[in-house]
Amino acid sequence: MKKFVYTTFYDHGTESTITKVFADIPKAAIDAIAEADGWDGCHWDAPALIYCEQVYDSPYMSDECDQLIRMLGATEYEEEE
């Protein structure tokens, strides 16, 4: 079981690279946290989100984010088919 996953993509609308790192926790736990915290569904403050950044004018994440991902041993998120 993975402990951390990340996703990174280039947003052409804002000309920025967005990277998010998530704790890989069960959906039931995410739902319980969301309900307790009154989460409104915004992806910027999702219950499993532990770090996010937006780097403007660059197709790459920051060096700090890359180091965090390596330190956590996070793997790139892949949607299950």
**pLDDT tens-digit series, residues 27-76:** 888 888 888 888 777 766 678 899 999 999 999 999 999 999 999 999 99
> Residue 78 falls within a domain, yes or no?
no
Domain range for 10 = 1-55
pLDDT, position 75: 93
Report the distance separating Cα 47 and Cα 66, nearest Å: 22
| pLDDT attached to residue 55 | 97
Asked, for residue 7, whether it belongs to a domain, the answer is: yes
| 6 found inside a domain | yes
Three-class SS string for the chain?
CCCEEEEEEEECCCCEEEEEEEECCCHHHHHHHHHHHCCCCCHHHCCCEEEEEEEECCCCCCHHHHHHHHHHCCEECCCCC
Separation CA 77–CA 24 (nearest Å):
10
Q: What is the pLDDT of residue 29?
A: 85
Q: How many domains does the chain have?
A: 1
**Global pTM?**
0.80
Residue 72 lies in a domain: no
